[in-house]
Chains A and B, each alone.
Chain A
Amino acid sequence: GENVEQHPSTLSVQEGDSAVIKCTYSDSASNYFPWYKQELGKGPQLIIDIRSNVGEKKDQRIAVTLNKTAKHFSLHITETQPEDSAVYFCAASMGSGGSNYKLTFGKGTLLTVNP
């Protein structure tokens, strides 16, 4: 089955700096890669996603890049703010096709933005 590795497990940055979180996946059939942000006491919140026919996607301060050949994708947060502090999860799935209707998650990255 699919396996998703996520690095680093913890990341501390100064406010205004950029943060990068990287994930690799094992199943070349995966074609959908969402990123979730989870704050304490809440469920994961979808912040951005990318499909395999796209190499990069941006939404304001957040961007995701995908390298299908190398089977890795990354989350980039620019101009970080204290409210960006949370646990971030990457995931992979077969969004279309096949019968693998599930998300396989990385272990998460605890991002701390220091004021």
Chain B
Amino acid sequence: KAGVTQTPRYLIKTRGQQVTLSCSPISGHRSVSWYQQTPGQGLQFLFEYFSETQRNKGNFPGRFSGRQFSNSRSEMNVSTLELGDSALYLCASSPAVMNYGYTFGSGTRLTVV
């Protein structure tokens, strides 16, 4: 059974650019969440989608956005990149409406220069 797949694994972008990250959940999982991981702030919740609807959003600026497609795949976008956006971005999927048993992908390492 394939796990959560995130692409790309690594990205280097310049300040001011925008970036799109992709996440393919485990087959059959309908809930997808995104987290940002940094050494200083740890793991912080970005947003969560279920059946193409955003159900919850963390305390991040509007430059961070996401969406979910009908096949449950999800993308997140960060516009006008800042140096502080450098982080590991993790996607997690869960099979049910309730958020039990989230499985994480290996993440996308974004470096902003």
Interface residues of A (CB under 8 A from B): 32, 34, 36, 41-46, 49, 51, 89, 91, 93-96, 99-108
Q: How far is the CA of A107 from the CA of B42 in the complex (A)?
A: 6
Which 9 residue pairs of A and B lie closest in terms of their CB atoms, listed nearest first? A43-B104, A105-B43, A102-B45, A101-B56, A96-B98, A43-B106, A107-B42, A101-B48, A44-B104
Chain A residues whose CB sits within 8 angstroms of the CB of B42 once the complex forms:
89, 105-108
- Tell me whether B101 is interfacial, beta carbon within 8 Å: yes
Q: How far is the CA of A102 from the CA of B58 in the complex (A)?
A: 9
Interface residues of B (CB under 8 A from A): 4, 31, 33, 35, 42-45, 48, 50, 55-56, 58, 90, 92, 98-107
From the candidates A32, A41, A45, A105, name the one contacting B99 in the complex (CB within 8 A): A32
Tell me the minimal C-beta distance from A96 to chain B in angstroms. 5
Q: How far is the CA of A46 from the CA of B42 in the complex (A)?
A: 17
Chain B interface, >50% SS class: strand
B56-A99 in contact (CB<8A): yes
A104-B102 in contact (CB<8A): no
| Nearest A residue to B98, CB-CB | A96
Tell me the minimal C-beta distance from B5 to chain A in angstroms. 11
Chain B residues whose CB sits within 8 angstroms of the CB of A103 once the complex forms:
33, 35, 43, 45, 99, 102
Q: List 21 A-B contacts (CB under 8 A).
A: A34-B101, A42-B106, A43-B4, A43-B105, A43-B106, A44-B43, A45-B104, A46-B102, A46-B104, A49-B101, A51-B100, A91-B43, A95-B99, A95-B100, A101-B31, A101-B33, A101-B99, A102-B33, A102-B48, A102-B99, A106-B42
